[in-house]
């Protein structure tokens, strides 16, 4: 089953076609760790600006550890999956205090870090320390399933085991760090999810999916993602200079980010409380949808002009011109930019 030409052809392709990415010019585990956490669930072109911002602001683990969580979340704003940023900050503090700023240098130690799973630990240990660990991400699942004709579902324990074992078995004896970069790059640029470039593929003569015309059917997933539908009612209360903004503290999406006061309730059933009705006038109502991986949020922004913007009438009042100091979800960021004309 193992094709020895597979790795040779991959490495040859990579040498000619690889992208010049900043984290490929170093073996510093801190830099590679930052890049890998940012690139979880994120495409390279979207994550690149965040990588540069983080490395400029936090050039080493001590700088990241000493920053406030609010500052870290603010830099992360717009990238989504905010637990990544919170885990990044937590782990930086752990490495700084418990490990004296020295990043772990092997897979078994790296995988113990908060926010680091099997793929990320394999990536860091192989890229930084050339440890013989196979990376298995979406790109690798796709390429191996198509090339070897594997129909085991990738979202099952048995399927994951099959791919992990195969990925390790085909690792070359040398240049593991380069090979791991190559197989992921190949999946990202050549063996893409839709419209893979099969005609120009150096592996097409032995690719099971290509030869049997089933590339679109691989890899196989056994489960469909269940989408949870939610209705958010945002209460935007402002007098032109001040505005109400509160912190999300529950274990939910966007934990520790800031937003306008919000009630989760079907829009047609929502009614502002008496304090708002007595002290503010509704001047605008705007609806929008926000799609997350497992959730679809239907939001209505109820925009009120306050008659008396005092702490007796409203809670959590801040100056509008200070909004840029607060990390907010993308849906709130968009509303602020479009309706309050403030950069956040």
Which residues are tagged catalytic?
Answer: 36
Is residue 218 within 8 A of residue 293, CB to CB? The reply is no
CA distances from 196 to 57, 144, 177, 192 (A): 38, 14, 25, 5
Of 312, 311, 313, 239, the C-alpha closest to 272 is 313
Return the number of other C-beta atoms located less than 10 Å from residue 293's C-beta.
9
Q: Cα–Cα distance between 329 and 76 in angstroms, integer? A: 10
Q: Cα–Cα distance between 179 and 19 in angstroms, integer? A: 14
Cis omega (within 30 of 0) for bond into 219: yes
Return the number of other C-beta atoms located less than 10 Å from residue 160's C-beta.
16
CA distances from 306 to 244, 277, 286, 326 (A): 10, 10, 18, 22
Q: Cα–Cα distance between 134 and 117 in angstroms, integer? A: 13
């Amino acid at each position: 089953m193992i094709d020895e030409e597979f790795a040779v052809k991959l490495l040859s392709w990579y040498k000619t076609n690889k992208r010049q990415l900043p984290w490929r010019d170093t073996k510093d585990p801190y830099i590679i760790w930052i890049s890998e956490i940012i690139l979880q669930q994120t495409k390279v072109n979207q994550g690149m600006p965040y990588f540069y911002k983080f490395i400029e602001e936090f050039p080493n683990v001590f700088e990241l550890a000493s920053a406030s969580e609010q500052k870290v979340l603010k830099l992360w704003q717009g990238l989504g999956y905010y637990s990544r940023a919170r885990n990044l900050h937590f782990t930086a503090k752990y490495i700084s205090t418990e490990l004296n700023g020295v990043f772990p240098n092997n897979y078994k130690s790296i995988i113990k870090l908060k926010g680091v799973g099997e793929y990320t630990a394999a990536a860091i240990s192989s890229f930084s320390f050339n440890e013989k660990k196979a990376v298995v991400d979406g790109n690798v699942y796709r390429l191996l399933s198509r090339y070897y004709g594997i129909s085991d579902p990738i979202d099952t324990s048995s399927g994951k085991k099959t791919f992990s074992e195969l990925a390790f078995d085909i690792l070359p004896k040398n240049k593991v760090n380069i090979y791991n970069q190559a197989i992921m790059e190949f999946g990202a640029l050549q063996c893409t999810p839709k419209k893979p470039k099969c005609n120009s593929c150096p592996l097409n003569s032995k690719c099971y999916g290509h030869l049997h015309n089933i590339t679109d059917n691989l890899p196989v997933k056994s489960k469909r993602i269940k989408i949870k539908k939610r209705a958010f009612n945002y209460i935007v209360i402002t007098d032109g200079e001040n505005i109400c903004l509160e912190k999300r503290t529950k274990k939910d999406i966007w934990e520790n980010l800031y937003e306008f006061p919000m009630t989760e309730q079907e829009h047609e059933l929502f009614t502002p409380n008496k304090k708002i009705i007595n002290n503010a006038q509704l001047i605008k109502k705007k609806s929008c949808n926000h799609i997350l991986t497992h959730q679809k949020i239907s939001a209505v922004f109820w925009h009120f002009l306050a008659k008396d913007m005092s702490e007796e009438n409203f809670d959590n009042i801040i100056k509008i011109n200070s909004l840029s100091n607060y990390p907010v979800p993308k849906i709130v960021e968009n509303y602020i930019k479009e309706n309050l004309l403030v950069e956040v």
